[in-house]
Amino acid sequence: MDVATVSFALQLLGMGSQVKEIFATMQEQFRQEFDFTAEAEVMREVADQVLPKFGRQIDIPLPIDRAHPSCPESGSLCSTKVLTMERLEGVPIRQYAIPLMKMFAEAHGTSWDELKRILESKDMTKVDLENPAVRRVLRMGEVTEWQSRLLALGIQLRNCTGRMVGGCAEGICKVKPPNWARRSIPVPLNGPRLARLLYDVHGYEIFQLGLFNSDPHAGNVFMMPDGKLGLIDYGACMRLTAEQRSSIAHLLIAIADEDDEAVPPAFWACGFRSKNQDPRLALLLAHVFFNRGPYPYDMNRLAPKVGMPIDADIMTLDSYLRGGELDDIEEFPGHLVMLQRCAMVLSGLALELGAGRLSSAQMLKPQAKLWLQD
């Protein structure tokens, strides 16, 4: 559990007794994160349930505990303060994502450090919306696998051309090659394919297992030499009851299908409450949290239904979400906070991988439908 999540919960509900359930959930998560024997148990449970389904595409290292064949006779190598697990021969996937984000930032007249600072801002009201890169990110649509492969091919051709030009300049013309020819651009991963895989795995955890990792950020995802994704850090997991999974499934399907009449009652069924139970706040909040964030298409589509101006800026949107323009939030259950965190992190990771702005509700919908069918 990180400070950002606690900060998010406080910003969401404001100060006061409304945060009681939030902090009860946080307390349980802190207990798990600071007791590595608990995390080891969760890691093994998730691996045992998920790997039979996704073992050809992902890897989850097992803890070196008493159940592990490599456990020494002296006992488990895991304790409350130490977690020992199998080694993953890979590197954090962010190392592959950063060159792509740098290219994106440079193409829009800014630096990666500046773009990263803006994207990681905890207060969207302070984000510079005039920054071309930020405006492009907010309006970016979904990137297909075909588009991703085309980009990779273009970069490969560009690198090949650069090597030819550099070789001719130095070997034949005896001159210094141009700067672009001396710099090879890393070929990006197939971000859309990897993002879909990550959503599939976490959707399976949410609905089929009822135990999901709420913090699947880029530092916890490894690119393995064999092409698999390695998933680590199960200290921020959340358990869901069958009833919670069903209510969440109905909510995500309603959001994905743009069934605006069904979203508010589905959100209330998940435990969300506001002072007057205004369906407009439930509709707007559900889309911001579990769809694509403050995505212009979604906000403008919903604007007439909630009485919000078209092309509303962040300050205006914030007044409708938290400022009491529509209603005042009174209850936001802890399991929804953790689910929203998972959806937000997966969406950000997809963006880093070059998959564009994905709808978490749409990406999790297949697993939600499977759960309801079963």
* Predicted TM-score of the model (pTM): 0.85
Structure tokens at 153: 């091919």
pLDDT in tens, 326-357: 999 988 998 999 999 999 999 989 988 888 88
The yes-or-no verdict on residue 3 having pLDDT over 50 is no
Closest CA to 198 of 220, 216, 214, 215: 216
- CA–chain centroid gap for 41, Å, is 24
In DSSP terms, which residues pair with 78 in a beta bridge?
A: none
Residue 63 DSSP class: B
pLDDT in tens, 276-320: 999 999 999 999 999 998 888 999 999 999 999 999 887 888 889
Residues 256, 203 contacting (CB under 8 angstroms): no
Closest CA to 63 of 80, 52, 53, 54: 80
Rounded-to-integer distance, Cα 333 and Cα 273, Å = 9
Sequence letter at residue 20: K
* Domain segments of the chain as ranges: 142-188
Residue 187 DSSP class: P
pLDDT in tens, 134-178: 666 667 778 888 887 888 788 888 888 888 888 887 777 777 877
